[in-house]
Copies of this chain bind each other. A is one copy, B any other.
Amino acid sequence: MNIGILGLGTVGGGVVNVLNKNKATIFAHTNEEINIIHVAVKNLSEARICPNDGLNITEDAFAVVNNPAVDVVLELIGGTRIAKDLIKQAIKNNKHVITANKALIANFGNELLSLAKSHNVYLLFEAAVAGGVPILKSLEQGLSANEIEWIAGIINGTGNFILSEMNDKNANFSDALKQAQDLGYAEADPTFDVEGIDAAHKLAILSSMAFGCELQFEQITTEGIGKIASEDVAFAAELGFVIKHLAVAKYADGKIESHVQPTLIPKTRLLANVDGVMNAVLIKGNAVGTTLYYGAGAGAETTASAVIANLVDIIKGTISDDILGWKSLKPMPICDTDNVCSIFYLRLLVADKPGVLANITATLAEYDISVEQVMQKQVDAQNNSPIVIVTNKVKTVTLNKAITQIQTHNFSQEKIKIIPIETLD
């Protein structure tokens, strides 16, 4: 099996290193040599984490995808421009492609999968979600007897690191972000991570696999973690919850609801204990119940593990046809945001005068929203007092109407904070 590698950065270098160090173990699985016959890099003179010796390296990536001796191309460049052109060219040359590129698959997967199907080659991307955790294989093959009801995942290590810092060390968002940047977990421009875009890319892939539909990245609602205050973390803890940046996709009545947003989850759930840069995905199947898959979401050899597993799959033929482009890859209707039902955490800051709580609860009752938990805190120097409420399960549109009405009152001192709660049962 002759492979060509595009990119020798963290992931590409990791792949070369793992293929070297685990040669015997991998051969025991494949019974076939894996030869790296052509490698493309951006800059020949750049320092690398893997040795160069014996590698046939070029700066012309198209030379690799056009090399007739290459059977499988590993696209480990990233980005959605040149990487896309290279993958298309490789597929048109009837080569299998393995990529770790979640942004590319989320945005252009439908087009690329359909191209791969028409050329009868595989386009595989286990490494695109949750690093080396075999989450896509588990969904496609391990849970094939199930209708998947929902998925809930912590699939962005940077965001989870920040929230873990806020939770464990009472840090505020900007200090925790700075800490993540200092440690190299967050980039100088952290938008993709903290706004939930990276997690939405991964959720689009998980959701497509789980529900057997087209990739629908644009349909995912995202909300960043920047709005989470350290008081919210503290109040949540007092109520028995932890705040996580949760990626959720649910299927019900022929529609999908999918979003990435700060979410309260009960602290007794295993997912609530997934800390730092670790990733975990919880899947609810209608036969198996809930199963959870956990591991590092990034890192050179972690990601390489998934890339090489896909390569072994190609050699051994242990691939579902599904991944080649589902038989009937159709879009799935999306549940309107207004109609999404959830339990909610509400935090209000109110003037400390008689009848305020009565007024709030009466308004909620008017909209048929019941209060499951309520907590009023001591007044501050301005004579204002925070109130925290946990509602029952209610439609978003209904909640928003009640909130609007409550905010018209002059006792309401600031915009009411609304965070959804997932009980994950």
Contacts and interface: CB of A to CB of B under 8 A. Distances in A.
A11 to B, nearest CB: 12
B318 A141 contact: yes
Nearest to A294: B292
A319 interface: yes
Nearest to A283: B295
28 contacts: A18-B145, A21-B287, A22-B145, A25-B145, A25-B146, A134-B142, A138-B142, A141-B309, A141-B313, A141-B318, A144-B308, A144-B312, A145-B307, A145-B308, A145-B312, A270-B270, A273-B273, A280-B292, A288-B296, A288-B306, A289-B295, A289-B301, A290-B296, A291-B294, A292-B293, A292-B294, A294-B294, A318-B319
Interface residues of A, number: 60
Interface in A15-74: 18, 21-22, 25-26, 28-29, 31
A296 B290 CA distance: 8
A137 B142 contact: yes
Given A141-B141, A145-B307, 16 more contacts: A126-B142, A132-B291, A134-B141, A134-B291, A141-B318, A143-B309, A145-B312, A270-B273, A288-B306, A289-B302, A291-B295, A292-B292, A292-B293, A293-B294, A318-B318, A318-B319
Nearest to A273: B273
A293 B145 CA distance: 18
Contacts of A309: 141-145
A320 B28 CA distance: 11
Contacts of A321: 316
Interface of A: 14, 18, 21-22, 25-26, 28-29, 31, 126, 131-134, 137-138, 141-147, 212, 270, 273-274, 280, 285-296, 299, 301-302, 304-309, 312-313, 316-322, 326-327
A78 B287 CA distance: 21
A149 B305 CA distance: 14
A145 B98 CA distance: 15
Given A138-B137, A308-B145, A318-B318, A212 B287 contact: no
Nearest to A134: B142
B29 A320 contact: yes
**8 nearest interchain CB pairs?**
A134-B142, A132-B288, A145-B308, A291-B295, A288-B305, A292-B294, A287-B305, A287-B301
Contacts of A295: 288-292
A252 to B, nearest CB: 15
A391 to B, nearest CB: 28
A22 B299 contact: no
Contacts of A307: 145
B289 A146 contact: no
A351 B57 CA distance: 73
A286 B21 contact: yes
Contact of A317 (B29, B134, B304, B317): B317
A322 B321 CA distance: 21
A104 B145 CA distance: 24
A289 B299 contact: yes
A294 B270 CA distance: 9
Nearest to A326: B28
A285 B22 CA distance: 11
B304 A287 contact: yes
Given A273-B270, A295-B292, A322-B29, A143 B305 contact: yes
